[in-house]
A and B are shown apart, each in its own frame.
Chain A
C-alpha cells in the first residue's frame, strides 16, 4: 500500500534517434492523450460509457473516442467513434442517475468555439459553461446568477474541468442551497453562494449552442459519520537532528489522549513518533491527509508506509488513499519539526460519503496568522513588470532571476532570465506579491493570479549540432538586457555563444505572441523550443495542441520539427531567420 505523494517531475533524458518530421501531414486520430484520464482523488466515477449510468441518453448525445476541434472554426468538429467521450449538441438534457444531496462534483470536458452548456444541480443551482474571448460577465464560464470571480475558461478544443462543492440540503437553512466552492480549471470562481432551493430539479447537462465533449464525470457524497478514530496513543520524542530521518536518541516518552505536537513543545527541534490503534468501523477507500509545517512527516499503517513527504513550510496538505477493511490496525505517525518554524501537525481522514474530519487536537494545528492579499495589476494601457523569485510546483528550488509581465489584456507570463526560458503563461489579474511584500517577504515568490499553464522550464533557445541532438538547457545563454516599449511590453536580448537574439513577447486577446529575431551571428544550428509535453498533436499546418492544455501556432511558413526524447515530445524550430509563434489557451 505504499504510495508517495510527490508531483510529477519532468525528467530530462537523452533524445532517442527517432524523429517525427512535422512537415508530413499527420492528423492524429486521437487529438488528446489516448490513455484514459483518471478522475482526481475524492471523486467516484460515473461510468460515462455505460448507458445505465443515466436516466436518459437522448439522441443529441452520442459517444466518441475523441473529438477533433479546431479552436477557430466553430463548425469543424469531427468525432471518431468510440466510448471515451459523451458528445452533446443542442437539444435535450443528459440526465445521470444521481441521488446525492450534499456532494462534490467533478466534470471534465471540451467545448467547440462559441459553445455554451448549462449544468443544472439537484436543488436548482445552475452553472454556465461557455467558450469565447472577452465575454461579458453573465456569459462567462462559472456564471451561477452571480458573475464568476474571474474568467477561467479555456479556448475551444482544450481540456477543461469543473470542481464543485455543493450542498442542496441545509437542515438549518430550509429553502436554500449553497455553492461552497466552484472551480473552473482549478481557479476558484465562486465561493459561499446561497441560492433558493427547488426540490424537483435533478442533475442535468444541456447544450445551448455548439458542442460539448464530456470525458470525465464523478462525485462524492457527504454524511456526518466518523468511521475512523485513534485510540491508545503513545508517543516517543527523539533528539536526533531535524533532518536526520533517524530515531536513535530517545528523549521522553509517554501516552497522550490526543494526537498533538504539543507533547514536545518547548523544544527547538524534535523527531516525534506517535503510535496507537486505528479503529476502522467500515470498509472503504480512505483518504489520509497530513497537514504540517516541518522537515518531514511519515504515516504508516500496520508497518506499511502509506505517506512520506518532506519539507513543508506552511501547513501544506499531503494526501494518500488507502483501502481498509473494517477492523483494528496499528498506526504510526513520525514528524520532525523545523528549527526555524513553529510546529504544526495535523492528520485528517476522509472517505466517499463523509466530509474529511480531523484526527488531531485542534491546538496541534494553529491558525496561521492572517496575511493581506497584495497584488500588482497592470494599468489601463500599459503592461506592468515584476522581477522576483519563482518556484514551479514540481521543483524544490527557486528560480532566482525571473521577470513576470502582466498586460491589460489579462495575458501574463514569467520568463527565467538566467535560462532564457518561458516558464508559465496565465490569464488573469496578473500577480500576487504577498510573499514578496508582506513584512520581510520571507519567500520572495511571485504567484500568478489566474488560470496558469506551466510551460517547459528549459531554455527556449539552444545550439544543436544536429537536428536530433539533445536539447541543452541554458548552456550558453546569457541575458543582456530588455527594452520597454510605450505599452510596457518587453523585448529581451540574449546571447547564445556568439549569437545575439532579440526575444519580443506581447499579449493578444487569446494568448501571447513571441518573436525571436537573430540580431548577430545567426546560425542554422540555433533552435527555438516551441513546446514540450507528453503528447504534441498537429491540428493543421502550423497549429499544434500540447497535452490538451494550450496551442502553439507558428507563422511565416516556419516548419517546426516534432521529435521525441525518452520522456517527452518536443516541438523545435530552426532560428536562422526571425521566428514568430503564438501560445493560445
Chain B
C-alpha cells in the first residue's frame, strides 16, 4: 500500500510538472463529452430543448422527437432514449413550453401534446402553417423564444440555381403569435438556420451563397433587409414592414457598406466570419447566459459551424448605437456538423449535430455531444474592441508586457468583400496596416494597438493577429487571430502619445496579397501561378484538335462524378469540368500522390486563398481550372505528362480536398 501511494504521488507530480511546459490545447479548457446514442436511433439533430427536470428533448431530421434522460452522464452515465413523437417532415427546431412542445417542420409549426401522460404525444395540432413549393431547399426553423416571451421562426429560400422565394415568406424572419398568427418582421435571409437573442435583440447567422460573400451574423430589427433579395418579392403584402423590391438591389460588386449608404433598409452584418478561416456554414448562435459557469466569456456569443464541425466565439459591442464586433476560433473537433446548441442546467453546452447531404470535417453522420468547461481559464483575447485609432484587446490573463512591445508580435490586415448576386466573394482590397505603437495597461490585461486614424476603414474587416504575445506564465494565445467588423468607427480619445511604445516602420512580412480586386471571372490565361497551368482556349498548334476529350462533373457529398480517367502520355487533352453542385469547386491536376499536399497548401493560403482560386503556387500543381460558381463549367487544354504514373486531380476549396479527389492514370 505504501509503495503504491508513493508511486501515485510521484506520477501526479510528474504530470503536474509536465503540464506546465507542454503547449495547451482546447481540450485543456473545454471538454467534449459524447452522449452515446442507441444503434437503432438516427439522431440527426434538428432541434434541442433542455427540460427543467433534467431531460433533453431532441427533434430529428427524419421526423422524430426523442426524450433523453440523463444527458448529463451522471451515475453510470447511461442515457435513456424514449421516442415522444414521429412522422414530422424534417423538423429543424424545438421549443418546450411545459405543457406542450412547438416544433417547426417544413410546412407547419406543430404543437405536440401528451394528453394522457403516457410519454408519447397523442395530439399533433397544426399550430401555424404556410404553403410550400416542393423545393427541398425550403427548410423551416424554430420556433425560438425571445427573452420578452415572443416567438420567432425563419424560412430558408428555395434553390433554383440561386436563392428563390417561390412561396410566401421564404427568406423571412417572422414573429409567431400565441394564436399561430405569423407576422413578417425582416427579410433578406438566405439560410437562417441559427437565430435567437443577444441581450434581447434578434440576431441570425447566414451562410455564404448568392449575394452573401461569407458567413456572418446580423442584428435584425423590424423592416430590415439583410442582403439576399429573394424574399423581397413579398413586400407588396400589406403586413410587410418594408417596400423594397428585388430590382431595387444593385449587383455591382462594391462592398456592402457602400451600397448600404443608398439603401437604408440594408442592414450590415454585425460580425463577418471569413469564409474557410472561421467556418463555412454558420449554424446556431447562443449568448453565454451562464454567468461564468461556462468560463470567462459570459455575455459573449457562441456560433456553431456545420461544415467545419466547430464552435466559434463573437465579442460584440455597440458603436454609435450599432452592434459590431470580433470573432475568434473557440473549439473544433466535434463529431459531425454542428447545427444546434442549448445550455444545460449546469452551464454546459449541448451540441446537436448532423451532416447528411453536406460534408463536414467531423465524419459521423450525426452526434449529440456536450461541451464542458474544465474550470481552467484559457489564455485568449477576451475582448477585441474598436477605438478611433485602432483596437483595444483585453486578455483573459495578464500578459508579459515585453512580448506586447515587440512589433513582430502583432499583425493587422484589413479587407472587405464584394456585394453582388454571385455566389460568395473573394476577400478584396487586402492591405497590411502598419502599427504605430502599443499601450499596455498597468494590470497587463489590456493592450491598445494604435494605427494611423486614416487607415481605419469603415466597412472593412480587420484581422488582428497576436502571434507573439505570451502570458505571464509563458503561454501562447490559444486562438491568436481575431476578425473585427468595423462598420462604425467610435469617436474615442486617441492614445496618449507619451505612454505609447512606438514601433518603427520596418519591413513587415506581409501575408496579404497585392491590393486591388481580383475578378473571379477572369478569362485570361495568366494566373498567379503561371500562364502554362491554365489554358482555356484550344492552342492554335492543335490543328487536328485534342487527342482526347474528358468531362468531369460533381456528385453530392463532395465528389467528382468520375473517380478515374486514363490518358495517353504526351497526348493533347481537352478537359471540361462541370460544377453542377450548389457550392464552389475547382479542379487541379497534381503530381502523383500530391493531392492531399496541394489541398493542405491551399488551406494554408488563408485570406489570400479565395483571390487565388485556392490554387497554391507550388510545383506539385500541374494544371488547374479556376474556382467555379455553382452550375457553371470551364474547359482547359493541356498536354498529358510524358512520364506514366497515377497522377491525381483534386478540388482544393477548403474542406473539400480529402474527399474530392480522383486519379488520372497516364499510360504509355
Contacts and interface: CB of A to CB of B under 8 A. Distances in A.
B122 A266 contact: no
B551 A386 contact: no
User: Which one of B87, B123, B576, B633 has the highest number of Cβ atoms from chain A below 10 Å of its Cβ?
Assistant: B87
A316 interface: no
Interface stretch (B125-133, B272-280, B452-460): B125-133
From DSSP, what is the main secondary structure of chain B's interface residues? loop
Nearest to A403: B87
Contacts of B566: none
Contacts of A18: none
A324 to B, nearest CB: 35
A460 interface: no
A369 B555 contact: yes
Contacts of B161: 339-340
Given A387-B105, A444-B136, A266 B86 contact: no
B447 interface: no
A485 B122 contact: yes
A12 B295 CA distance: 66
A66 B136 CA distance: 48
B66 to A, nearest CB: 16
B121 interface: yes
User: Which one of A387, A443, A482 has the highest number of Cβ atoms from chain B below 10 Å of its Cβ?
Assistant: A387
Given A265-B549, A389-B134, 15 more contacts: A265-B551, A266-B578, A266-B633, A340-B580, A340-B631, A369-B561, A384-B86, A384-B87, A385-B86, A387-B87, A389-B132, A400-B107, A437-B61, A444-B90, A481-B126
Given A444-B134, A480-B126, A342 B121 contact: no
A27 B549 CA distance: 70
A479 B126 contact: yes
Nearest to B121: A484
A401 B87 contact: no
Interface string B101-140: 0000111100100000000111111100101111010000
B484 to A, nearest CB: 35
B356 interface: yes
Contacts, number: 99
Interface string A351-383: 000000000000000000100000000000000
B606 interface: no
B357 interface: yes
7 contacts: A266-B633, A385-B87, A400-B132, A401-B107, A480-B126, A483-B122, A484-B123
A267 B633 contact: yes
Interface string A434-469: 001101111110000000000000000000000000
Contacts of A11: none
A326 interface: no
Contacts of B106: 400, 444
Given A267-B633, A342-B580, A403-B87, A441 B123 contact: no
Given A440-B357, A483-B123, A401 B132 contact: yes
Contacts of B561: 342, 369
Nearest to B579: A268
B124 A266 contact: no
A386 B357 contact: no
A267 B131 CA distance: 35
Interface in B43-101: 61-63, 86-90
Contact of B88 (A339, A387, A417, A480): A387
Contacts of B122: 483-485
B580 A341 contact: yes
Contact of A400 (B61, B123, B131, B632): B131
A231 interface: no
B290 interface: no
Contacts of B136: 440-444
Nearest to B630: A340
Interface string A397-415: 1101101000000000000
Contacts of A391: 134
A262 interface: yes
Interface of A: 262, 265-268, 339-342, 369, 384-389, 391, 397-398, 400-401, 403, 417, 436-437, 439-444, 479-485
A262 B552 CA distance: 12
B65 to A, nearest CB: 13
A485 B118 CA distance: 11
Contact of B356 (A385, A439, A442, A479): A439
A444 B89 CA distance: 9
Nearest to A481: B125
Contacts of A444: 89-90, 106, 134, 136
B501 to A, nearest CB: 54
A442 B158 CA distance: 11
User: Which one of A266, A403, A443 has the highest number of Cβ atoms from chain B below 10 Å of its Cβ?
Assistant: A266
A266 B632 CA distance: 9
B556 interface: yes
Contacts of B396: none
A388 B549 contact: no
B553 interface: yes
Given A266-B633, A340-B580, A437-B62, A481 B123 contact: yes
Closest 4 CB pairs of A and B: A440-B357, A398-B134, A385-B87, A266-B576
B223 interface: no
Contacts of A385: 86-87
A262 to B, nearest CB: 7
Contacts of B131: 400
B63 A387 contact: yes
A440 B556 contact: yes
B570 interface: no
A268 B88 CA distance: 36
Contact of B125 (A386, A437, A480): A480
Contacts of B631: 268, 339-340
Given A265-B549, A268-B631, A401-B132, A441 B124 contact: no
A555 B115 CA distance: 31
B91 to A, nearest CB: 10
B576 A265 contact: yes
A266 B635 contact: yes
Contacts of B632: 268
B321 to A, nearest CB: 41
B557 interface: yes
A340 to B, nearest CB: 6
A567 to B, nearest CB: 26
Contacts of A397: 134
B113 to A, nearest CB: 9
B485 to A, nearest CB: 31
A265 B555 CA distance: 17
B40 to A, nearest CB: 11
